[in-house]
Amino acid sequence: MSKTIKKVGVLTSGGDSPGMNAAIRSVVRTCAYHNIECIGIYRGYQGMIEGDFKEMGPRSVNNIVNKGGTILKSARSVDFRTPEGRKKAHENLLKAGIDALVVIGGDGSFTGGLIFNSEYDFPVMGIPGTIDNDIYGTSFTLGYDTALNTVVDCIDKIRDTASSHNRLFFVEVMGRDAGHIALNAGIGAGAEEILIPEEDLGLDRLLDSLQKSKASGKSSSIVVIAEGDKIGKNVFELKDYVEANLPEYDVRVSVLGHMQRGGSPSCFDRVLASRLGVKAVESLIEGKSNYMVGLKEDKVVLTPLEQAIKGKSEIDRELLRVSDIMST
Ligand code: ATP
Q: For strand 100-105 and strand 299-304, is the pairing parallel, antiparallel, or unpaired?
A: unpaired
The finding on whether 106 has its CB within 6 A of some atom of ligand 1 is yes
| Ligand 1: residue whose CA is nearest its atom 9 | 108
**Å from CA of 230 to ligand 1 middle:** 25
User: Looking at the domain covering 145-261, what would its CATH class be?
Assistant: alpha beta
| Ligand 1: residue whose CA is nearest its atom 25 | 112
| Ligand 1: residue whose CA is nearest its atom 3 | 15
| Ligand 1: residue whose CA is nearest its atom 24 | 108
pTM of this structure:
0.96
The finding on whether 108 has its CB within 6 A of some atom of ligand 1 is yes
- What is the position in ligand 1's atom list of the atom closest to the CA of 13? 14
pLDDT score recorded for residue 162: 86
pLDDT score recorded for residue 1: 44
pLDDT score recorded for residue 167: 86
With a pLDDT cut of 90, the percent of the chain lying above it is: 85
Q: How remote is the C-alpha of 283 from its chain's centroid?
A: 22
Give the residue numbers of the binding site for Mg(2+).
Answer: 107
- Listed as own residue / partner, the contacts of 149-156 with beta carbons closer than 8 Å and 24 or more positions apart are 149/266, 150/256, 150/259, 150/260, 150/262, 150/263, 151/181, 151/185, 151/189, 151/256, 151/260, 152/185, 152/188, 152/189, 154/254, 154/256, 154/259, 155/185, 155/189, 155/191, 155/222, 155/224, 156/189
7-143+265-310 matches 145-261 in fold:
yes
pLDDT score recorded for residue 301: 98
CA distance 95 to 243: 63
The finding on whether 17 has its CB within 6 A of some atom of ligand 1 is no
How many helices (DSSP H) and strands (DSSP E) are in the chain?
11, 11
Give the residue numbers of the binding site for ADP.
Answer: 25-29, 159, 190-192, 218-220
Mutational pocket test of ligand 1: of 12, 111, 116, 119, the residue with most ligand atoms within 8 Å of the beta carbon: 111
Give the residue numbers of the binding site for substrate.
Answer: 130-132, 167, 174-176, 227, 252, 258-261
The finding on whether 105 has its CB within 6 A of some atom of ligand 1 is yes
The finding on whether 81 has its CB within 6 A of some atom of ligand 1 is yes
- Catalytic residue ranges: 132
pLDDT score recorded for residue 194: 94
The finding on whether 45 has its CB within 6 A of some atom of ligand 1 is yes
pLDDT score recorded for residue 116: 98
What residue spans define the domains of the chain?
7-143+265-310, 145-261
pLDDT score recorded for residue 2: 61
What is the full per-residue pLDDT of the chain (328 aa) written as tens digits?
Answer: 467 999 999 999 999 999 999 999 999 999 999 999 999 999 999 999 999 999 999 999 999 999 999 999 999 999 999 999 999 999 999 999 999 999 999 999 999 999 999 999 999 999 999 999 999 999 999 999 999 999 999 999 999 988 888 789 999 999 999 999 999 999 999 999 999 999 888 888 889 988 888 888 887 789 999 998 888 788 999 999 999 999 888 899 999 999 999 999 999 999 999 999 999 999 999 999 999 999 999 999 999 999 999 999 999 999 999 999 998 8
**Å from CA of 288 to ligand 1 middle:** 22
Topology of domain 7-143+265-310 in CATH is Rossmann fold (3.40.50)
Q: Do residues 187 and 326 touch, judged by C-beta distance below 8 A? A: yes
